[in-house]
Every structure is written in C-alpha cells, then in structure tokens.
C-alpha cells in the first residue's frame, strides 16, 4: 500500500514498477537482500560513476573511492527512501553529496597539484572541435567544479543535478524534496554565480591575444 502511495499524483492508475523499474529491486535491497543490492548497484553504477567523474574530473584518483563510497551510501540510505523520486535520481543525489564532500576535502591539494584531467586531453583529439574550443570547454567545466566548492551546498546540489547531470527542474525538485520554485530560485543564484565566474576568468585564447 505504501508503495502505491509513493509516487503520489504521478502514480494514478500506474503500477509503481512501471514508473520506476528499479523500485522492486530497491525494496528488496533495503531489506538486506544481497542479490538485489548487487543488481541495483550494477544498474545504478553508470549513473554514480558519471556523477563522480563530473564533480571530481574524469582523471581524478578519487573517482573509484567516491564510486565505492556512493554505492555503500546508497545501500545504507535505502531504508529511508520514501519514493518521492525515482531510485536512480535518489542514488544520483547520494553520489552528488558524496562527491561534493570529497571535492571540498581535496580542494586544497587540487590547488597546488597540477591536475590535467583526461577529459581535457580527450577533447583535444575530438574531430569536430578545434583545440582552442576544447580547451575553452575544459576551462568552463573546471570553473563549474571550482564553483561547487565555493557555493552553499544547496546551490551546488541544484547546479550539479540540473546543469551537470541534465535533470529537469521537476526531477531536481523531486530528488531534493523541495518545491519547484525553490529549485528555480536556487538555480537562478547558482547560474548567476557561474556566469560571473566565467566572466572573471577570460578564456586562455583571449589572454594570449591581450598579451600579444
């Protein structure tokens, strides 16, 4: 019965499993079924890995640790999952929080250790973009990652879920259990900070032109 109530108005007449195919596995996993836990983690793994890479950088040595921590955290948090969003969105939020914590922890180290992530290197080789465009894209990604350490956590979460992971505003609101307008308001502030940050850091190409 509780499961039928989980998705609220969205569940009208639709079995929860059809709204979220991972719900059945999540229920079993929450009760300690190890096979269900494994199935769920393997299903959710790509989303968790994507989140860890997005926040830490694809070449960060902490990605694997964060993935494992996120997996353990998802299993530990499942009993408290109330089905207000999909299991995948719930897990992504757990991964966002885990990765943001680690990102903030290692921020000082990242400041002093040159950290060229392989996504930048991968982009240089992209056939449809010039090296300058790829470098500029890498700069924007890094600016956003830096911003995640500076913004209040509620803004960082919204920014990561919506801009980095591509959640819609509705999905973000359900994942965070806050009203849609709250998400919009947080997003406005976070995006204004992102815009300002990018304006403050001129593209490498412009710097070179100015110096010339």
Partner 1 sequence: MTRSRTGLPIEPEDLSARARRGSLSEAERSALDVALGESRTLAVAHRVGLDFDRVLGVQPGDEKLIAALADRAIDAPRTRAPSAVVRRWLLLGVAATLAIAGSAAAWSASTSFKNRAVEPAVPNFVVQRPSATKPTPGAARVAVAPVGSAESAGSAEPVTVDLSKVVPSNTPTAKSASARQAASPPEDEASAVFSAAAAARRASDFGRARSLYLRLEREFPNSSEARLARVSLGKVLLVMGRAAEAEQQFALYLAAGGSLTEEALLGRAQSLARLGRTPEEQSVWDTLLRDFPGSVYAATARNRLSALRGAQP
- Residue 53, both tokens: 């890479």
Count of residues touching partner 1 (by CB under 8 A): 55
CB 179 within 8 A of CB 173: yes
- Asked if 87 is part of the footprint of partner 1 (rule: CB under 8 A), the reply reads no
Please tell me the distance from the alpha carbon of residue 114 to that of residue 33, in angstroms, as a whole number: 43
Q: What does the radius of gyration of the chain's CA atoms come to, in whole angstroms?
A: 19
Minimum CB distance to partner 1 smaller for 1 or for 113: 113
- Residue (of 80, 103, 84) closest to 156 by Cα position: 103
Please tell me the distance from the alpha carbon of residue 146 to that of residue 144, in angstroms, as a whole number: 5
Minimum CB distance to partner 1 smaller for 4 or for 132: 132
Minimum CB distance to partner 1 smaller for 4 or for 130: 130
In the region spanning residues 6 to 65, those forming contacts with partner 1, defined by CB under 8 A, are: 34, 37-38, 41-42, 45-46, 49-50, 53-54, 58, 62, 64-65
- Residue (of 168, 169, 163, 165) closest to 185 by Cα position: 169
Instruction: Kindly state the helix (H) or strand (E) to which residue 203 belongs, with its residue range.
Output: none
Backbone angles phi, psi at 151, to 5 degrees: -70, 155
Q: How far is the CB of 169 from partner 1 (least distance, A)?
A: 5
- Pick the piece of the chain touching partner 1 (CB under 8 A) from 15-23, 120-128, 148-156, 201-209: 120-128
Q: How far is the CB of 51 from partner 1 (least distance, A)?
A: 9
Please tell me the distance from the alpha carbon of residue 184 to that of residue 173, in angstroms, as a whole number: 9
Please give the residue ranges that form the binding site for partner 1 (CB under 8 A): 34, 37-38, 41-42, 45-46, 49-50, 53-54, 58, 62, 64-65, 67-69, 71-73, 75-77, 79-80, 102, 105-106, 109, 119, 122-123, 126, 137-138, 140-141, 144, 162-164, 166-170, 184, 187-188, 191-192, 194-195, 198
């Amino acid at each position: 019965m509780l499961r039928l109530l989980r998705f609220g108005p969205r569940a009208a007449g639709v079995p929860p499993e059809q709204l979220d195919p991972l719900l059945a596995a999540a229920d079993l996993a929450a009760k300690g079924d190890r096979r269900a836990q494994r199935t769920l983690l393997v299903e959710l793994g790509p989303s968790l890995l994507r989140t860890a890479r997005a926040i830490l950088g694809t070449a960060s040595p902490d990605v694997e640790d964060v993935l494992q921590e996120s997996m353990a955290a998802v299993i530990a948090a499942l009993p408290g999952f109330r089905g207000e969003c999909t299991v995948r969105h719930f897990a992504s939020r757990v991964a966002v929080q885990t990765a943001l914590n680690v990102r903030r922890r290692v921020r000082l180290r990242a400041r002093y250790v040159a950290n060229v992530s392989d996504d930048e290197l991968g982009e240089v080789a992209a056939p449809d973009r010039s090296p300058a465009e790829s470098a500029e894209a890498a700069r924007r990604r890094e600016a956003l990652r830096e911003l995640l350490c500076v913004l209040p956590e509620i803004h960082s979460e919204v920014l990561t879920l919506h801009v980095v992971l591509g959640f819609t505003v509705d999905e973000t609101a359900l994942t965070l259990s806050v009203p849609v307008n709250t998400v919009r308001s947080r997003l406005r502030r976070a995006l204004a900070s992102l815009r300002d940050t990018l304006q403050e850091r001129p593209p490498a190409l412009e710097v070179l032109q100015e110096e010339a």
